[in-house]
Structure 1
Amino acid sequence: MSQSVPPSGNPFAEGAQQPPYPAEPAPAPAPVRNNLGLGLVAALVAALVAGGVYGGIAGAIDREIGWAAIGVGFLVGFASGKVGGSHPVLPVASAALSLGAVYVGQLLAIAIIIGKELKVSATDVLFENFDVVTQVWGESKDLMTFLFFALAAFAAFSGAKKSAE
């Protein structure tokens, strides 16, 4: 009792009708995104926004949160990878910009905390007494400060790589 195999090579397609027209070809693959300029602009904008939000939150609660620094880095990397694609410079640039964003966020947090204590605006503290703010940052930095920098840079680098895929 031998089973006959239809010409299609599929023994389960016996009796199935083939469509009278050929199947449509698959759509062309999406073009590869590889725009360094747009990726850098997206990373810079994301760094400014994320750094401001990070500083605002840290200043409002009078402490830094490690996962927020990771979020800053990931947001910067994600934006650069999504917009700029897989250009090899973008992960490195994202990591560097995320370091700047976390630093600016920490300075903003210090300005907010000083402003609350002195009952003046944080922008006045930041812009009129920038030397004091950076001095306070220098005196208050510790191992956790640099851990937050490292986490942000790692998240930015890996976020840029992943989002470009």
Structure 2
Amino acid sequence: MSQSVPPAQPPQPAPVDGNPYAQQAPAPAAPGVPLPPGPGAFAAPPAPPAPVRNNVVLGLLAALAAAVVAGALYGLVIGATKHEIGWAAVGVGFVVGLAAGKTGGRNPALPVLAAALALGSVYLGQLVGEAMIVADHFHVGFGEVFFHHLDTVQKIWKEDADPLTFLFFAIAAFAAFSGSKKAAL
């Protein structure tokens, strides 16, 4: 009579640290040879690349675009109310800093660049506001005053500038600097 031979069993992994249910990690494969998937394993798709968060050029371009738009809106507010509004200057700075930080990341140059752009944005807004007030006073078009008589608008701005005007500049620069740093986190 012949004896039946039990089927061959795959070798069982040795227990890890006394735990019979734990398995040791498989030995690394040679370079270029993929590991076979384990029981019940599936091949996961590769992870998407992490977003680029340290792009100074992109951050600068976004901050520049935000500065132009925010400055124009600030000028519209000044022209409509015929007053400088401090909270609007804070908003200008914050929007510029937010745009720089969110798109450019943690680069240490971005908060400084955002602060400088916020200063220019507030100045642009104040010039737009002055030009709107002058155009309304003389019943001429805004474009005529702003583009053809910008030197006169700047002289009027210099005459109207007071310490509060420069405080708005400082507030906007601070808001842009701190907003850029916080947005990059």
TM-score, normalised by the number of residues in structure 2: 0.73
Q: Where do 4+ consecutive residues of structure 1 move more than 2 Å?
A: 27-32
Give the aligned partner of residue 94 of structure 2.
74
Paired residues, what number? 144
> What residue identity is the alignment partner of 1:48?
V
Cα deviations by residue, 1:74-111 (Å, 9 ceiling, x for unpaired): 00000010000011110000000000000010000000
Deviation at 1:131, TM superposition (A): 1.1
Give the aligned partner of residue 37 of structure 1.
57
Question: Greater share of helix residues, 1 or 2?
Answer: 1
* Cα distance in structure 1, aligned partners of 2:49 and 2:147: 50
Secondary structure of the corresponding residue to residue 148 of structure 1: helix
Is there any run of 5+ residues in structure 1 with no aligned partner, and where? Answer: 1-6, 8-20, 22-26
Cα deviations by residue, 1:30-86 (Å, 9 ceiling, x for unpaired): 556000000000000000000000001110111110000000000000001000001
Deviation at 1:164, TM superposition (A): 0.2
Query: Percent of aligned positions with the same letter in both sequences?
Result: 57
> What residue identity is the alignment partner of 1:99?
L
Note the 1:81-120 alignment, pairs <5 A.
81-120=101-140
Is there any run of 5+ residues in structure 2 with no aligned partner, and where? Answer: 1-18, 20-39, 41-46
Secondary structure of the corresponding residue to residue 98 of structure 1: helix
Give the aligned partner of residue 46 of structure 1.
66
* Cα distance in structure 2, aligned partners of 1:155 and 1:64: 17
Give the aligned partner of residue 123 of structure 1.
143
* Cα distance in structure 1, aligned partners of 2:71 and 2:123: 8
TM-score, normalised by the number of residues in structure 1: 0.82
Over the aligned positions, Cα root-mean-square deviation in angstroms equals: 2.0
* Cα distance in structure 1, aligned partners of 2:99 and 2:52: 16
* Cα distance in structure 2, aligned partners of 1:50 and 1:136: 22
Give the aligned partner of residue 152 of structure 2.
132
* Cα distance in structure 2, aligned partners of 1:28 and 1:158: 31
Deviation at 1:150, TM superposition (A): 0.2
* Cα distance in structure 2, aligned partners of 1:58 and 1:133: 14
* Cα distance in structure 2, aligned partners of 1:60 and 1:121: 15
Larger-Rg structure:
2
**Which structure would you say has the larger RCO, counting Cα contacts within 8 Å and 6 or more residues apart?**
1
